[in-house]
Amino acid sequence: MNNFERTPVATSSDAFFFEKDKSKCTLILGVGNYLMGDEGVGVHLIQEMAKLNLPENLDILDGGTGGFLLLNYFEAYKTIIFVDATMDGKPEGTVSLIRPKFASDFPSALSVHDVGLKDLIESVYLLETKPDLRLFTISINEIKPMTIELSSKVQKAIPGTIEQIFILNGQLQTDH
């Protein structure tokens, strides 16, 4: 496995990324605005995962601020695990796992990306075959524009979230 396959892939339609059959793979999709502090935790998590030796069936993608450019991924993968920030009133750094059934099950809008993400999810539910969607949220207290720094509690939540992703991936592989 070369290193190129394990680096985050841009959200363009990259032919290399789709050369192999993805039907038995799980996509970890980190979303958020990297330039808005804790709101970009999903992107930070993908960057941390890019440094790891990932299982063969696990692909990672920096989904950035989302949008319809990501729709091809929902057709290619049977399982997609999102990672996103949420302002849900829980203590900062709290990690929650949701199995969303509707776009309304995704966290309420934090920044512009959620408008595109919710529209994207609505479109996904119109597809003939829908992927199994899971969502890890990491609770944040505030958005700080024009910073890439994460608060210490949100930063500390990343390793545990990655561990939970690995556990969930193992369970999903056993179930399928």
Q: What pLDDT, in 10s, does the model give residues 84-93? A: 999 999 999 9
CATH number of the CATH domain containing 28: 3.40.50.1450
Classify residue 111 by burial, with Cβ atoms within 10 Å: 0-12, 13-18, 19+.
middle
Q: Is residue 114 part of a domain?
A: yes
Whether the per-residue pLDDT at 80 is higher than 50: the answer is yes
CB atoms within 10 A of CB 87: 18
User: What's the number of domains the chain is made of?
Assistant: 1
Q: HSE of 56 in the Cβ direction (CA atoms, 13 Å)?
A: 6
- The pTM of this model reads 0.85
Phi/psi at 20 (5° precision): -100, 155
Please give the residue range of the domain that contains residue 132. 24-175
Integer Cα distance of 51 and 66 in angstroms:
22
Is residue 157 a part of any domain in this protein? yes
Within a domain: 86 = yes
Q: What are phi and psi of 158, to 5 degrees?
A: -65, -50
- Is 11 within the bounds of a domain? no
Q: Could you report the per-residue pLDDT of 13-66, keeping only the tens digit for each?
A: 455 556 678 888 999 999 988 999 999 999 999 999 999 999 999 999 998 877
Domain assignment present for residue 64? The answer is: yes
Angle 152-175/41-49 helices, nearest 10 degrees?
A: 60
- According to the model, what pLDDT value does residue 12 have? 40
The answer to whether position 126 is within a domain reads yes
